[in-house]
Amino acid sequence: MSFIQRCTQAWSIRSSMLCVGLDPEPSRYPKEFQSRHSHEATEAFCKGIIQATASYACAFKPQIAHFAAIGAEAVLERLSQWFKTEYPDHLWILDAKRGDIGSTAQHYATEAFQRYRADAVTLSPYMGTDSLEPFLGYGDKGIFLLCRTSNPGGDDLQMQTLQSGERVFEHIARIAAHRWNTHGQTGLVVGATYPAELARVRAIAPTLPLLIPGIGAQGGDLQATVAAAVTPTGGIFVNSSRVILYASAGTDWQMAAAQEARNTQTALQQAAASLDAPRA
């Protein structure tokens, strides 16, 4: 099954376009974890969040820096193995934003797809085609390329206009939709904070799966996001991290996380239903 088919299946089975981002911050864990070692607490907290929210999400996105900063690679390994066994239909998207060439890119692909069992990984497009090929060599795996990111600094390069009239993010979207998408493996990262650019990306790349951070804590508008980018099969993974993870620090943390996830899933479904375009 190709990666795009796996995406379509994930959107359909779960009736969800919600991706829950796993950005573990030990200082923000529920009180019951505060006395435990940070590695043990991180593993238990992430598992608890996944168990509480899996019914409302089609994907989970572990952010690797949060594990690397505390030396918790082994936790992410165990979590990955457990997740792929327990939730085979959900997608596991490793947010690593890697980018390198040759044997180094091959090692990063090994890290993402073998060590952490990711279904997809986020990558930077700055180094171009030969930095992506080692990842595309895994035929059933996906890549999400940074395109128009949710932060203001994204303007420094992504919003520059080329002589062709295209802006840099549009140029990346166009190559991604054609030259870099020979086997339905390629998606793009586009922030919810810029709905007009999100709509431009969707126009350039009508069928590419989009990973969309920036709703919730970063302030992106959910309704505008769906209107700009949803497709008949789903088409988008709308990421939410902190609002769900840290919904409560009390004993009700799992219930609060589930509630936030369900609210977001429902809001996404309603936003899609309210559009004129019929959805499958």
User: Which residues form the interface with a second copy (CB under 8 A)?
Assistant: 23, 25, 63, 65-66, 68-69, 71, 73-74, 77, 97-105, 107-108, 110-111, 115, 124-132, 146, 149-158, 160-163, 168, 171-172, 175
Residues 23/231, Cβ–Cβ less than 8 Å: no
Annotated catalytic residue: which of 61, 84, 97, 141? 97
Which CB atom, from 101 or from 267, has the smaller least distance to a second copy? 101
Residues 190/229, Cβ–Cβ less than 8 Å: yes
Which CB atom, from 5 or from 161, has the smaller least distance to a second copy? 161
Q: How many Å apart are CA 40 and CA 196, to the nearest integer?
A: 42
Residues 90/59, Cβ–Cβ less than 8 Å: yes
CA angle in degrees (0–180, nearest 5) for 57-63-66: 130
- Please provide the distance, in angstroms rounded to a whole number, between the alpha carbons at the two ends of the chain: 20
Q: How many Å apart are CA 128 and CA 214, to the nearest integer?
A: 25
Residues 238/222, Cβ–Cβ less than 8 Å: yes
Which CB atom, from 21 or from 235, has the smaller least distance to a second copy? 21
Structure-block tokens of residue 45? 């907290």
Closest approach of Cβ 171 to a second copy, in Å? 6
Closest approach of Cβ 120 to a second copy, in Å? 17
Kindly give the pairing relationship between strand 120-123 and strand 59-62: unpaired
Structure-block tokens of residue 56? 């409302």
Catalytic: 84?
no
What is the residue type of 146?
L
Closest approach of Cβ 8 to a second copy, in Å? 28
Location of structure tokens 């991180």 = 42
Closest approach of Cβ 159 to a second copy, in Å? 9
Which CB atom, from 56 or from 108, has the smaller least distance to a second copy? 108
Closest approach of Cβ 12 to a second copy, in Å? 30
Which CB atom, from 151 or from 207, has the smaller least distance to a second copy? 151
Structure-block tokens of residue 268? 């996404």
- Residues labelled as active-site residues: 97
